[in-house]
């Protein structure tokens, strides 16, 4: 147990207003972000820049606020009663937390993959097309092509090409998650938020998903919440360590794991906490 939380220093500081030029290639910029539910503050004054075209891992103990943060980026917490935010999250300089934000378009640009695979109760083909149809992204004549392209991207095409009209629930858990990924990719997002995307999968499927992420950058920026430090190490270029609602430390994954600056980070990655 840690006695007290040290103040912000080190890595985080350079992200403050003074040095925004440094983050010109940031896809997401977060400034003075505070998030809470009623009187409870879950995220405290976070500042960060997500580098474009990389895999970013968010790590930290349970309750550190990483999932709350993730779900705030595409405004999925909006409907939860008592939820509030302060500060700013912007996508290419465009504010996401404003009342005028076009939520539907935001969610097209910033997709999400959940912990448990959640294909819709419609055919495999319709699942891939769900977002394409919702946003009217392409004429009907291109639908077959889109289905094929995205299923090929996730490596499912061969397995399902003969049963595109079947129920997705006959697929294995790993295949269902890949289908969900194909569904997200089909709307051509810039950022994909992944909330422990492999924690419900078997090891072989985990590998398939991880390989895919590596293959799909730099076209897409992935922000991955994970409880597996090994996974964070394997797949991410950058790692951000959340602790008690604060961004304790962030930097290149290699540096975070080999040379952590903050005592909390050292504790956590050495497996003595969380």
Partner 1 sequence: MSYEIRDHKKRSASRRIANIVVLTLSSLALLVVIAPSIWIVVQILREALPHFSFSVLTKNGVGLGGGLRNEIVGTLVVSIGVVLLAGTIGILSGIFLAQYARGRLASILRAASDILAGIPSIVLGYVGYSALVVGFHWGFSLGAGVITLSVLVIPYIAKTTEVALRQVPINYIEGAEALGFKPTRILSRITLKTALPGITTGLIVAMAISVGETAPLLYTAGYSQNLPKLTLTHSPLGYLTYAVWTFYNQPTKTALQLSYDAALVIMVLILLLIGISRIIVAQTQRHAETSR
Is residue 169 within the footprint of partner 1 (CB under 8 A)? yes
What angle (nearest 5°) sits at the alpha carbon of residue 87, between those of residues 83 and 90? 100
Q: Please identify, among the stretches 53-61, 90-98, 107-115, 228-236, the one whose residues bind partner 1 according to the rule CB under 8 A.
A: 107-115
Pick one of 142, 167, 173, 259: the residue that binds partner 1 (CB under 8 A).
167
Q: Give the span between the Cα atoms of 228 and 235, in whole angstroms.
A: 11
Q: Residues in contact with partner 1, total (CB under 8 A)?
A: 30
* CA distances (Å), origin 36, targets 11, 48, 73, 141: 24, 18, 14, 46
Pick one of 36, 60, 111, 174: the residue that binds partner 1 (CB under 8 A).
111
Residue closer to partner 1 (CB basis): 76 or 229: 76
**Beta strand 246-252 with 238-243: parallel, antiparallel or unpaired?**
antiparallel
Is residue 114 within the footprint of partner 1 (CB under 8 A)? yes
**Beta strand 238-243 with 55-59: parallel, antiparallel or unpaired?**
parallel
Neighbours of 185 (CB within 10 A): 24
**C-beta separation of 110 from 190 below 8 A:** yes
Residues 118-147 that bind partner 1 (CB under 8 A): 118, 120-123, 126, 130-131, 134-135
Closest CA to 231 of 263, 249, 257: 257
Residue closer to partner 1 (CB basis): 20 or 134: 134
Is residue 197 within the footprint of partner 1 (CB under 8 A)? no
Residue closer to partner 1 (CB basis): 27 or 70: 70
Residue closer to partner 1 (CB basis): 2 or 134: 134
Pick one of 43, 58, 96, 112: the residue that binds partner 1 (CB under 8 A).
112
Taken in order 135, 137, 143, 147, is the CA torsion positive or negative?
A: negative
Residue 21, both tokens: 């030029």
Residue closer to partner 1 (CB basis): 15 or 132: 132
Max CA pair span of the chain: 62
CB of 70 to partner 1, least distance (A): 11
**Chain positions contacting partner 1, by CB under 8 A:** 74, 76, 103-108, 111-112, 114, 116, 118, 120-123, 126, 130-131, 134-135, 166-169, 180, 183-184, 187
């Amino acid at each position: 147990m840690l006695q007290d939380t040290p103040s912000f220093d080190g890595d985080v500081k350079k992200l403050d207003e003074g040095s925004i030029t440094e983050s010109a290639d940031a896809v997401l910029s977060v400034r003075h972000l505070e998030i809470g539910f009623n009187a409870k503050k879950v995220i405290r004054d976070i500042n960060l820049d997500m580098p474009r075209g990389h895999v970013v891992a968010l790590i930290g103990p349970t309750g550190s606020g990483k999932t709350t943060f993730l779900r705030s980026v595409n405004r999925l917490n909006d409907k939860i009663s008592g939820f509030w935010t302060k500060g700013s999250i912007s996508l290419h300089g465009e504010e996401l937390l404003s009342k005028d934000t076009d939520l539907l378009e935001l969610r097209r640009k910033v997709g999400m993959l959940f912990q448990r695979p959640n294909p819709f109760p419609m055919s495999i083909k319709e699942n891939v097309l769900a977002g394409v149809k919702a946003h009217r992204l392409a004429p009907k004549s291109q639908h077959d092509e889109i289905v094929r392209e995205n299923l090929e991207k996730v490596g499912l095409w061969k397995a399902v090409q003969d049963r595109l009209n079947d129920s997705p629930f006959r697929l294995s858990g790993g295949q269902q998650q890949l289908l969900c990924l194909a569904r997200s990719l089909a709307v051509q997002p810039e950022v994909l938020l992944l909330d422990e995307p492999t924690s419900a999968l078997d090891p072989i499927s985990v590998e398939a998903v991880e390989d895919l992420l590596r293959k799909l950058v730099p076209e897409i920026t992935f922000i991955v919440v994970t409880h597996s430090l090994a996974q964070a190490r394997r797949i991410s270029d950058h790692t951000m360590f959340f602790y008690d609602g604060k961004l304790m430390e962030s930097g290149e994954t290699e540096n975070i794991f080999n040379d952590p600056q903050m005592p909390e980070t050292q504790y956590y990655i050495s497996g003595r906490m969380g």
